[in-house]
Amino acid sequence: MTAELQQPKGNHRYQEPSQARMLKIPYNSTLSSGIRSFSVLSGLRATTIEPSNTNHPKSQSHLKNDEPTVKHANLSNAQKAYLDRAIRVDQAGELGANYIYAGQMFVLLRKHPHLKPILTHMWEQEVHHHNTFNALQLKNRVRPSLLTPFWKVGAIAMGVTTAAISPEAAMACTEAVETVIGGHYNEQLRVLTNQFELDKTDGTRGVPKEVRKLINTIKEFRDQELEHLDTAIKNDSKEAVPYKIITEGIKGICRIAVWSAERI
Amino acid sequence: MLNRSILKKGLFSYRSYHPSLKEYVKPATLSPLTYNKESVQYKILSNALTKWVPKHGFKEKAITDSLNELGFSSSLLSVIGASNSPAIFRSISPAVMELIKFQLVSKRYELTENLCPDTTPKNELPSLESLLLKRLEMDKAIGKQIPHLFAELATPSSFLFDVALPELHRLSDDMIYFSNEKDHHDMAWYTKRLGVSCAYVSSKLYMAQDNSRDFEDTLSFAKDKLHRIMKLGEYYNNTEEYAWYMFMVSTNLVRARLARS
Ligand SMILES: [Fe+2]
Ligand SMILES: [Fe+2]
């Protein structure tokens, strides 16, 4: 509640800490409880009652009980390569975000204690994003970005520098970063929803569960990033001097970073 | 241009996203081989590897003998090598290349066949050391052929960059993923894999000259080497020129890649 009191007026959309905490459920439990993912599946399930059992008795026989009976065709090499790059760049991006906020907090907290709840809240969400993609990187055996040490240093530097200019400049930095990240996540969501429909052994088509999980994760994170963007604007990011240079400069840096983290 | 394709096929292509196994039908081939365990090629090559390579080495004769034994026509030799383009500057035949590739790939799969890190708790998985030793033990039968095998693998050629190095990295990656070894999100991800590759290659080199009973010396060398690399960070030792060479090739790939962007 303290967080709300310290918000500038008119900030009715700021998320209360209690609500925020609900969002920070560990990755696996959010998704394996699977309310959202099942609602996607239920339509398909209803139309394909039993045929899989009669059509493919052989492919079923060796399965263990915890394995789904209907299987997908294999992902193509291009699809695997896309997921590989997506997880690598998202991991690097969330690492960057995590370190940017850490850098900002390091500078701002002493002089501007009223920003603490806002920054802490956003930072905690970034830590959760970062941990989630770290887990996905190991689970799916994706190599991390080779530039990781550079992202760490760069992100801290960006956080510290903008915060050293002024709290508004720090908010302008957040605004710029979240604009690029929000757009980047939307682009990924577009590809993941459109390009990952695979044939299934029961004759239908669908997006594999692990991809749907990833889509849901990215959706959740995208929404939180856009919330950070709102928070930054409400905290006077537009009053930063020099606003144009900071935001455009950082947007440029972020786009280059996204491009190289996908590849290197 | 050559450089670029070497880079693409080197360290950076060596393994992409691994999908969850449960959700998909079994892949049709044992990637990067172009056939699966039930195929004729697999039968011919694995028979050649277990029975005839210890006798003849990695030579065409091992494959033809295997073909004859299994009652196939020796004209199948060209089918076996079909996925490899003939080497321009070397005397090695495409079928022998396939046999070498088969030895690397099939043994890598065999090493981790019954392990499933997705469902097994980390502490119940085997140790990195035990996987390394197990992999070395798998080559006891072809111990005498290792020097020749190495000569073929290490010749700078597209085979080295397209097959040998990526396979080496995949092997190290597998050993780390399927063992209880801690894995990483940053540069340690790379150094650990290079360290395991380094330990494996230098142990293989040792094995090539090892005359001890049942390769006991090799196994204790491997244990010691792995320990020195992983715990003491000792990647390089003067006597292990080849390991150093491999290490340099890998890091050069990385450096060239960085310079290009
Ligand atoms: Fe984030
Ligand atoms: Fe964010």
pLDDT tens, B121-161? Answer: 888 888 899 999 999 999 888 888 888 887 777 776 777 77
A chain contacts of residue B24, beta-carbon cutoff 8 Å: 71-75, 208
Residue ranges per structural domain of chain A = 76-263
- Chain B interface, mutation test: which of A41, A63, A136, A138, most B Cβ atoms within 10 Å? A138
The identity of residue B228, as a single letter, is R
Contact across the interface for A144 and B189, Cβ inside 8 Å: yes
State residue B253's pLDDT score: 56
- The nearest alpha carbon in chain A to B174 belongs to A141
B chain contacts of residue A138, beta-carbon cutoff 8 Å: 183, 185
State residue B108's pLDDT score: 92
The answer to whether residue B91 neighbours chain A at the CB level (below 8 Å) is: no
Q: Give the Cα separation of A151 and A231 in Å (integer).
A: 24
Q: Running along chain A, 264 residues long, what does each successive block of 10 average in pLDDT?
A: 38 39 37 34 33 38 59 85 91 92 86 86 92 92 87 87 87 89 92 88 86 93 90 80 80 84 84
Read out DSSP for A125-142? HHHHHHHHHHHHHHHTTP
Read out DSSP for chain A? -HHHHTSPTT-TTSPPHHHHHHHT--HHHHHHH-HHHHHHHHHHHHH-SSHHHHH-HHHHHT--TTS-SS-BPPPPHHHHHHHHHHHHHHHHHHHHHHHHHHHHHHHHHHH-GGGHHHHHHHHHHHHHHHHHHHHHHHHTTPPPPTTHHHHHHHHHHHHHHHHHH-HHHHHHHHHHHHHHHHHHHHHHHHHHHHH--EEBTTS-EE--HHHHHHHHHHHHHHHHHHHHHHHHHHTTGGG-TTHHHHHHHHHHHHHHHHHHHHH-
The answer to whether residue B22 neighbours chain A at the CB level (below 8 Å) is: yes
Q: What is the pLDDT of residues B13-56, one digit of tens each?
A: 545 788 887 888 888 788 888 888 888 888 999 999 998 988 88
pTM score over 0.80: no
Residue ranges per structural domain of chain B = 32-113, 128-260
Token output for A203: 């004759």
Token output for A139: 């689970």
